């Protein structure tokens, strides 16, 4: 099987057009499609600056000049777009003297990171037995301050109007 044949398919997710980085404009979209199409789909070896490199699926060896000639964009535009992709963590790029090893990162990682939210610790703190630092339910005539620490039972007695 010849791995350099241009036959085969690339996969674009349905929500691809919602991505503000890879679809920022037509040039970004074009460079992203070229990177996806040229990336290896199976593990293989290739030469990069005189070194034998093992390419994993999703990696390619190319240069901004070759992408520019393929897309008919200027080389500086391609370099700027690649820099945008690196900053947005869509690709990882390792530069050599005459070429770059580009790894197209999984599209699941940015989506999962966007969907994950930090846990809400307020609900857990509300029912904990730790000392409470609040003056929400303090009587007006008490010397309660926001910096004072009270235990939970004293807080409950104060909240319902029972005083010691």
User: Tell me: the pLDDT tens digits for 69-95?
Assistant: 999 999 999 999 999 999 999 999 998
Q: What percentage of the chain reaches a pLDDT higher than 90?
A: 32
Residue 44, SS3? Answer: strand
Q: Answer yes or no: is pLDDT of 153 > 50.
A: yes
Q: Answer yes or no: is pLDDT of 112 > 60.
A: no
User: Would the pTM of this model clear 0.85, i.e. be above it?
Assistant: no
Interaxial angle between packed helices 75-87 and 64-71, expressed in degrees from 0 to 180 and rounded to the nearest 10: 110
Q: Answer yes or no: is pLDDT of 97 > 50.
A: yes
Q: Nearest-5° angle of CA 89, CA 6, CA 72?
A: 60
Domains of the chain: 14-115 (1.10.10.10), 122-160 (no CATH)
Element (DSSP H or E) covering residue 94: strand 91-95
Interaxial angle between packed helices 64-71 and 26-38, expressed in degrees from 0 to 180 and rounded to the nearest 10: 110
State residue 14's pLDDT score.
79
Element (DSSP H or E) covering residue 47: strand 44-48
Residue 52, SS3? Answer: strand
**Cα–Cα distance between 134 and 126 in angstroms, integer?**
11
Report the relative pairing of strands 100-104 and 59-62 from DSSP bridges: antiparallel
For 104, list phi and psi in degrees, rounded to 5. -80, 115
User: Tell me: the pLDDT tens digits for 16-57?
Assistant: 788 888 888 999 999 999 999 898 888 888 888 888 888 998
Q: Answer yes or no: is pLDDT of 128 > 80.
A: no
Over range 133-150, report the average pLDDT. 54
Burial of 116 (0-12, 13-18, 19+ CB in 10 A): exposed
């Amino acid at each position: 099987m010849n791995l350099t044949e241009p036959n085969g398919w690339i996969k674009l997710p349905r929500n691809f057009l919602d991505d503000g980085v890879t679809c920022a404009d037509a040039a970004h979209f074009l460079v992203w499609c070229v990177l996806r199409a040229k990336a290896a789909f199976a593990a293989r070896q290739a030469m990069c600056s005189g070194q034998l490199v093992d390419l994993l699926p999703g990696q390619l060896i190319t240069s901004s000049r070759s992408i520019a000639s393929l897309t008919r964009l200027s080389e500086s535009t391609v370099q700027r777009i690649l820099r945008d992709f690196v900053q947005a963590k869509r690709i990882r790029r390792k530069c050599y003297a005459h070429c770059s090893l580009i790894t197209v990162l999984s599209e699941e990682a940015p989506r999962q990171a966007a969907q994950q939210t930090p846990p809400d610790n307020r609900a857990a703190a509300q029912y904990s037995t730790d000392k409470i630092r609040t003056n929400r339910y303090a009587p007006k005539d008490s010397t309660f301050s926001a910096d004072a620490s009270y235990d939970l039972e004293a807080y409950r007695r104060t909240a319902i109007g029972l005083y010691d």
